[in-house]
Amino acid sequence: MTNTDLQTTESTTDGPFPFTALVNQESMKRALVLNAINPTIGGVLIRGERGTAKSTAVRALSDVLPEQTVVSDCPYGCPPDAIERMCEECRHRTQAGESLPTETRPMRVVDLPLDATEDRLTGTLDIEQALGEGQARFEPGVLAAANRNILYVDEVNLLDDHLVDALLDAAAMGENVVEREGISHRHPAEFILVGTMNPEEGSLRPQLLDRFGLVVDVEGVDDVADRVEISDRRAAFEADPAGFRREYAEKEAALTGDIVDARDRLDSVSIPVPVKRAIAETNIRLGVDGHRGDNTLRRAVRALAAFRGDTAVTTAMLREVAGMALDHRTVQLPFEEESTSVEDALSAAIDEHAT
């Protein structure tokens, strides 16, 4: 019997497979929800063999995210009530006293194809028009469409490195900057970045791997009862997609509500000083370069606390997310027989600072 998770399935015209109907794969689902609560975590890379529901989970996520209000005639879908997050045109219109037209839209998954060019990703500037009329016309790319949505890159390890660099730069800055012949254009590019890959088909450079906030590894389900349940649910979805989605509508709505509530309480979640020290000590013990590991772990664990309805982070929460935030940032030195695990480093740090 192969170690393949049969819950992988394509979306239908009735909508994607319900997120709450996914069996097992708790770490993957947790990482996606945490990024939905706090996109500044920096996205998630999901690694696993074919058929482990990676793509299914990503597409299902969009269905449980809350709808958002956008400027209806803006190509970037700017938020009408947050001038600091607007594109230049929407900002100018607002400052001029114009009432911007709005509409409510669901969040969606924007795909970046493997054969995409840099222009397709970032957008293009019409230099000839700039020379003739003094103003460059900008043709938006994938990053423009992804603003305030989910940007999904399947088989990200097969994407050209320069595209991955541009993608991760935009994700880190929340902005896309296109420069041609001394002329530049910038627009907001805030998105939940999700990459998936099969490690058997190649790996990401460590410098790129480190730029993903969270990394989770998924495997096929070996439990007999779970595999039967996966197959049953897939068969039911394929037989009647709309009916199957109705069965999970209440659970889907409840998860959406939990995400909305978590976003609202996120800023009020505190991290006690002993927990802060344990986070720092863990990164030191693991030899994690820079401060990205500390910052990511803080953001992820605060999102988890907000999702749970708690007002303060605990060491138990740290244990739930430390691996996905730090495992990919540890480097095993040449000739080193065994490196310190995240779990061991965290336990020692908690013992020293948080007990």
Active-site positions read 292
Could you report the per-residue pLDDT of 1-38, keeping only the tens digit for each?
A: 333 344 544 555 678 999 999 999 999 999 999 999 99
Tokens describing residue 348: 């020692």
Q: Which band of pLDDT confidence, cut at 50, 70 and 90, is reported for residue 296?
A: very high
Burial label, 215 (beta-carbon count in 10 A; 0-12, 13-18, 19+): buried
How many helices (H) does the chain have, and how many strands (E)?
Answer: 15, 11
Rounded-to-integer distance, Cα 350 and Cα 153, Å:
36
- The CATH superfamily holding the domain 19-67+106-233 is P-loop containing nucleotide triphosphate hydrolases (3.40.50.300)
Please list the residues that pair with 217 across neighbouring strands. 47
Average pLDDT over residues 233-253: 97
User: Interior CA angle at 292 toward 27 and 205, to 5°?
Assistant: 75
- Write down the pLDDT at residue 4: 38
Q: At what angle do helices 54-64 and 26-37 cross, to 10 degrees?
A: 40
Query: What is the pLDDT, as a whole number, of residue 289?
Result: 87
Place of tokens 């590991």: 293
| Complete DSSP assignment for 225-255 | HHHHHHHHHHHHHHH-HHHHHHHTHHHHHHH
A 10 A CB-CB count for 293 gives 24
Using one digit for the tens of pLDDT, what is the confidence trace for 134-149?
A: 566 889 999 999 999 9
Non-local (6+) Cβ contacts of 257 within 8 A are: none
The pLDDT assigned to 128 comes to 66
pLDDT tens readout for residues 96-110: 999 999 999 999 999
Q: Which residues of the chain form CATH 3.40.50.300?
A: 19-67+106-233
Pinpoint the residues of the chain covered by CATH 1.10.8.80: 269-353
Q: Report CA Rg, the chain.
A: 22
Q: How far from 321 is each of 47, 116, 178, 214, CA to CA, in Å?
A: 16, 33, 35, 9
Q: How many CB atoms lie within 10 A of CB 224?
A: 9
Q: What's at 341, amino acid-wise?
A: S
Q: Note the pLDDT of residue 168.
A: 85
269-353: CATH architecture: Orthogonal Bundle (1.10)
